[in-house]
Amino acid sequence: MENEQKQIYDLIILGTGPAGITAAIYADRYNLKTAMIGEVFGGTVMYPHKINNFPSYDEISGMDLINNFRKHIDKTECDCIEDQISKVKKEDNLFHVYLRRGDVLISKNILIGLGTFRRKLNVKNEDKFIGKGVHYCAICDAVFYKNKDVVVVGGGEGASMAVLLLAETCNKVYQIIRGDELRTAPDTIEKLEKLNNYSLIKNNEIVEIQGEMLVNKVLLKNEVDNQNAIDIDGVFIEIGGAPNSAIISDLNIDVDEKGYIKVDTTMKTNIDGIWAGGDITNIDGDFKQIINACSQGAIAAHNIYKNMDKK
C-alpha cells in the first residue's frame, strides 16, 4: 500500500471545542475538504453545569449544548475524528498531523482550536467535585450561588474580579491566598475593602475539599494554627489558565508573553497556512467565552476559504 495516494485535506481543525466545531460548520458551507480532530468533543463546554449566556437558550447544560453541536456536525461532510494529536509538522507547505493511534493526516491549512487548560489546585477531591461545587469560571457559574457561601482561591486580578462578581449575589465570599498580599490593582483592592460580605484569608491554602453529593467544606492549612475548616457551598479556583500549545511548539508560531497565539483580524497566525481560533488566541484576554470561540472559528474558516480561492 506504500504507493497509495494519501488524501490531502483543504483544512484540518485541531480541537473539537466551540471554535473548531463552528469552523467545521462554515468550512462545510464553503465545500472545503475538512477533518476535525479532538480528544473531547465539545471541549471545555463539558464543564459548565448550566450555561445562561449562549443565544437561543436561556439555560442549557454544557452536555446538552454539546449534544446539539454533535447533531449539527453530523449533518456536515466533515471527518470528525476523536483522537489525541501527538504532533504537527510542516513539510513542503503541507501540514502533517500525527495522531496517537498512528494515523498521519495531511492538509493545506490547519486551524488551531486547542483551547486552554485551567490550572488546578491538585488537592484531594478536586476532580470528584468539578461541577458539583468546584468551579473554574466565576463569570460562568456565579449565578448558581445566590445567597450561598463560597470561597475563591487565588490572589491575582482574575481571582479578585471573581470575588467582586460573586459578592454581588452570594451571602459570604472568602478569598484564600498563600501569601500575605493580593496581586491586584489598587482600585480593585479599594472595591474589595468596601464589601461587607467578604473576608480575605492570608497565608493559607486549601488542602482538601469535602462534601457528600455537593461540596460543603474546605480544609485549610497554615503554618501558625495548622489546620482550619470553613463551611462553604462552592469553591472557585481562579489561579489562571494556560494555552494547550505543547503539540504545536515546533511550528514557530508567534505567541504573546503568556503563550497565547497571536492572530490578525482574519485569525491568521504569522505562519502561512496556520490559523487559530478560540481560547488559545490572544484576542479576548480574560474574557474567554463560547460565543467568542464560535465567532473566531467562523471568521477563520471564512478567511481560509477566501485565501484558498485566491491561490
Ligand X SMILES: Cc1cc2nc3c(=O)[nH]c(=O)nc-3n(C[C@H](O)[C@H](O)[C@H](O)COP(=O)(O)OP(=O)(O)OC[C@H]3O[C@@H](n4cnc5c(N)ncnc54)[C@H](O)[C@@H]3O)c2cc1C
Q: What is the DSSP string of 66-110?
A: HHHHHHHHHTS--EEEE--EEEEEEETTEEEEEETTS-EEEEEEE
Give the interface segment with ligand X, choosing from 31-39, 65-73, 213-221, 232-240 (CB under 6 A): 31-39
Does the footprint of ligand X cover residue 263 (CB under 6 A)? no
95 binds ligand X (CB under 6 A): no
CA dihedral 132, 127, 45, 99 (to 10 degrees): -160
Residue in 7, 31, 84, 171 binding ligand X, rule: CB under 6 A: 84
Contact assessment for residue 93 and residue 222, using Cβ atoms and an 8 Å cutoff? no
Overall residue count recorded for the chain in this entry: 311
Q: Is the separation of the CB atoms in 195 and 170 below 8 Å?
A: no
140 counts as binding ligand X under rule CB under 6 A? yes
Instruction: Compute the least distance from the CB of residue 261 to ligand X, in Å.
Output: 11
State yes or no: residue 289 binds ligand X (CB under 6 A): yes
The one-letter code for the residue type at 27 is A
Q: Which of 210, 224, 125, 222 is nearest to 176 (CA)?
A: 222
Q: How near is the Cβ of 196 to ligand X at its closest, in Å?
A: 28
- Interface with ligand X includes 85 (CB under 6 A)? yes
Q: Which residues pair with 110 in a beta bridge?
A: 12, 274
Which of the stretches 187-195, 259-267, 289-297, 301-309 binds ligand X when contact is defined by CB under 6 A?
A: 289-297
51 binds ligand X (CB under 6 A): yes
Stretch that binds ligand X, among 16-24, 176-184, 216-224, 298-306 (CB under 6 A): 16-24
Of 11, 12, 13, 19, the one binding ligand X (CB under 6 A) is 19
**CB distance 110 to 11 below 8 Å:** yes
The cell numbers describing 179, all together, are 501569601
48 binds ligand X (CB under 6 A): yes
Binding ligand X (rule: CB under 6 A), the pick from 105, 113, 150, 260 is: 113
Amino acid at position 77, single letter? E
Helices (H), the chain: 18-29, 62-74, 138-141, 157-167, 186-193, 290-310
Segment interacting with ligand X (CB under 6 A) among 35-43, 90-98, 194-202, 263-271: 35-43
Report the residue from 11, 15, 34, 299 that binds ligand X according to the rule CB under 6 A: 15
Task: Give 53 or 67: the residue with its C-beta nearer to ligand X.
Answer: 53
Residue ranges binding ligand X (CB under 6 A): 15-20, 37-40, 43-45, 47-48, 51, 53, 84-85, 113-115, 118, 135-137, 140-141, 244, 247, 278-279, 288-291, 293
